[in-house]
Amino acid sequence: MDWGNFAQQLVNGLSLGAIYALIALGYTMVYGVLRFINFAHGDVFMIGAFAGLYINRWLKPFFTGLPEALSTAVVLLLSMGACACLGVLIEKLAYKPLRNRSRLTVLITAIGVSLFLSYSAQLIFGAAPKGFPNLFNSTTHDLPGGASATTEQFVVLGVTVLLLAALRWIVLGTRMGLAMRALSNNPAAASLMGVNTDAVISFTFALGSALAAAAGIFFAMLYQAIDPFMGILPGIKAFVAAVLGGIGSLPGAALGGVLIGLIETLVVGYSQDIGIPSGYRDAVAFVLLILILLFKPAGLLGKSEREKV
């Protein structure tokens, strides 16, 4: 066994998993408050990457002399803010008018929104992949055991941990977070407490979309190319991650994302040893989805929920 190679696969898998985790959190939060899967979420991830590209390009002249950490943070935060607005807008325009319709109607609308965003992005940015610039000077760092990690990977992992901690604080420690959890548990009772359902739903979309934007920029940093359809596969894999962790569960989404990232990377890294050609990497998540739905439909950390009559 080549432990150096294994450690390397873990590093790569963790950084990919961090990205899936950030996207999966948005799926699971929106599911928590509205009980539907926002299939346009992967496209918000894509818009996040493009926002990062253009915001960096426009602000470049102002960045001279600034530390790279600061300019990167500015690009990241502005893109997250832009996508938070986009998420709120999507909800207000597309989903809110359907609040009292069947969930299937909303689900199909979400697919429509997804296509609308992808093709609008194609119209605006062009279909050809665009290179994503280095936001900071990157080197390769040697890790114990013969593996190595790029500065990007460190940034992705470190900032993801920060974002997860911030999210945890918002959900468990603030009045808005408590209202989110109450709304998710019992919408009618929440409005009896004075919770403005629309405001909490907007906030949830803003939060989820901001995390998706961060994921989009991280993805662009690691793979250095972005295109209007880059959101489709990571979007669906993150959805699988949310289901794997237990849809509606925030720790579940984070865990599911990391697991999907690790498993996908390991299958590709050891494709010759286990006899699965690496071209099947995108199938891994879907095989997992089928297995979860067959054997543990509530997910790893999810609670099975009885429909109320």
- Site residues, another protein (CB under 8 A): 175, 178-179, 181-182, 185-186, 188-197, 303
Task: Give the three-state DSSP class for 159.
Answer: helix
Q: Based on CB atoms, which residue is closest to another protein, 48 or 177?
A: 177
Q: State how far the Cα of 21 lies from the Cα of 167, in Å rounded to an integer.
A: 12
Q: State how far the Cα of 260 lies from the Cα of 13, in Å rounded to an integer.
A: 8
Q: Based on CB atoms, which residue is closest to another protein, 185 or 278?
A: 185
Task: Give the three-state DSSP class for 65.
Answer: coil
State in angstroms the smallest separation of the CB of 179 from another protein: 6
Return the amino acid letter for 123: L
State in angstroms the smallest separation of the CB of 178 from another protein: 6
Residues whose CB is less than 8 angstroms from the CB of residue 236 and which lie 6 or more positions away in sequence, other chains included = 42, 285
Q: Based on CB atoms, which residue is closest to another protein, 188 or 294?
A: 188
State in angstroms the smallest separation of the CB of 302 from another protein: 12
Q: Where are the beta strands (DSSP E) in the chain?
A: 130-131, 140-142, 148-150, 225-226
Task: Give the three-state DSSP class for 273.
Answer: helix
Q: Based on CB atoms, which residue is closest to another protein, 10 or 179?
A: 179
State in angstroms the smallest separation of the CB of 171 from another protein: 12
State in angstroms the smallest separation of the CB of 194 from another protein: 4
Q: Based on CB atoms, which residue is closest to another protein, 35 or 181?
A: 181
Pairing of strands 140-142, 225-226: unpaired
